[in-house]
Amino acid sequence: MGTPFAQKETEPYEDPLDLMEEIDALKVEKGAKILAHFYVDGDIQDIADYTGDSLKLARDAASIEDSTIVFCGVHFMGESAKILSPKKTVLVPDLLAGCSLAESCQAPELKARQDELRAEGRTIVTVAYINTSAAVKSLCDWIVTSGNAQEIIDRIPADQEILFVPDQHLGRYLMEVTGREMILWPGACMVHEIFSLQDLLRAKKNNADSIVIAHPECPQNILEVSDFIGGTEKMRQYVKSVKEPTMFLVATESAMIYPLQKIAPQHTFIPVPGIMESTGETCACNRCPHMALNTLQKVRDCLKNGSPEITWEPYFDQAKGVLERSLLKN
Ligand code: 13P
Ligand code: SF4
């Protein structure tokens, strides 16, 4: 489904503690579990039954037994949960929470590109980052996340060409670590693409012992100056493994600071700021506007009303096979 650019609406103020209590009661009443990505607000992560990166949450969605899932994240995540757990009711707090990466690769354009490459006589395997719509997934051979991409690409026979969609930066990074040439789609994440290299270098210089950690969705110039590159769960495990109190400069969505602080409270975490291309000004654009559409009020309301819901679409059947093979059978 198409998701227009997300806008934060203003909601009437309600006490977060009251909302949390209400949500806890509704979870029991409705037989629901809440799944929350590390990029949603900390208070939502606190009331969630499961938190994690895209890979863990997809697996959690497939394995939990409750009849209802509330997926706090973005649309493609709720969609994947529904596909992996068709019998469950999958609710999302806001259907408009999309993803710039998923938007950048539409199914008809992907199909046209695949046809073009095949018409040239090329044997291609299409590998999609999980940040894609189910319609796109249904056209692909493998689905990867930041947690399993390298492993899956390593398994693809060397005589097959890989078309990797939609994140050009993650794709370039994967080419580097796997040594595999790939045809890249020109997509990018609106948050990870705009980190300010200048601010990062200045912070690094002013804090000589700091460690830069970056998500592989960042462009090459940021990854080149990073000490550790990994998806959100890998980042968490890495900061936990560092015992000495350390300053980390974090190049990913800023809500990630919350789970990092929780797992390794001995450290200091500084979010790297973004920079606006139009004016060159530093901005707080390291917050994903789509993830930010998840609020406690909307979690409460969707539990109460049983909507918005992700409903089954005909192309989910095809996407189910590729998602299961890629994420559950390893
Ligand atoms: P991971 O949590 O899988 O690293 O993905 C990050 C992301 O971009 C989610 O939108
Ligand atoms: Fe999509 Fe980027 Fe937001 Fe993740 S952070 S949901 S990749 S727009």
Among 190, 217, 228, which residue has the most ligand 1 atoms within 8 Å of its CB, making it the best to mutate?
Answer: 217
Query: In angstroms, what is the span from residue 189 Cα to ligand 2's centroid?
Result: 6
Domain count, the chain: 3
Query: In angstroms, what is the span from residue 216 Cα to ligand 1's centroid?
Result: 10
Query: In angstroms, what is the span from residue 281 Cα to ligand 2's centroid?
Result: 21
Query: In angstroms, what is the span from residue 131 Cα to ligand 1's centroid?
Result: 8
| Ligand 1 contact via 253 beta carbon (within 6 Å) | no
pLDDT confidence of 1, banded at 50, 70, 90?
Answer: very low
Instruction: Name 313's Cβ contacts closer than 8 Å, sequence gap at least 6.
Output: 134, 135
Query: Which one of 283, 303, 321 terminates a domain?
Result: 283
Overall average pLDDT of the 285-294 stretch: 93
Is residue 323 domain-resident? no
Is residue 300 domain-resident? yes
Q: For residues 77 and 40, is the Cβ–Cβ distance under 8 A?
A: no
Q: Assess whether 308 and 232 both reside in one domain.
A: no
Concatenating the DSSP letter of every residue in 104-124 gives TS-HHHHHHHHHHHHHTT--E
Is residue 255 domain-resident? yes
| Nearest bound ligand to the CA of residue 100 | 2
Is residue 1 domain-resident? no
Q: Round to whole Å and give the CA distance between 330 and 324.
A: 9
Is residue 326 domain-resident? no
Overall average pLDDT of the 305-328 stretch: 96
**Tens-digit pLDDT profile for residues 59-92:** 999 999 999 999 999 999 999 999 999 999 999 9
Q: Assess whether 205 and 238 both reside in one domain.
A: yes
> For residue 248, what are the domain limits?
192-283
Among 54, 72, 75, 291, which residue has the most ligand 2 atoms within 8 Å of its CB, making it the best to mutate?
Answer: 291
Closest CA to 63 of 74, 52, 76, 73: 52
> Residue 9: its pLDDT value, please?
56
As a whole-number percent, the residues of the chain with pLDDT over 70 amount to 96
**Tens-digit pLDDT profile for residues 148-165:** 999 999 999 999 999 999
Which residue type, as a one-letter code, is found at position 323? L
Overall average pLDDT of the 292-301 stretch: 98
CATH code where residue 174 lies: 3.40.50.10800
The answer to whether the Cα torsion of 39, 43, 46, 50 is positive or negative is: negative
Which is the closest atom of ligand 1 to the Cα of 215?
Answer: 4
Query: In angstroms, what is the span from residue 136 Cα to ligand 2's centroid?
Result: 17
Which is the closest atom of ligand 1 to the Cα of 99?
Answer: 10
pLDDT confidence of 199, banded at 50, 70, 90?
Answer: confident
Q: Assess whether 224 and 163 both reside in one domain.
A: no
Number of helices (H), then strands (E), in the chain: 15, 15
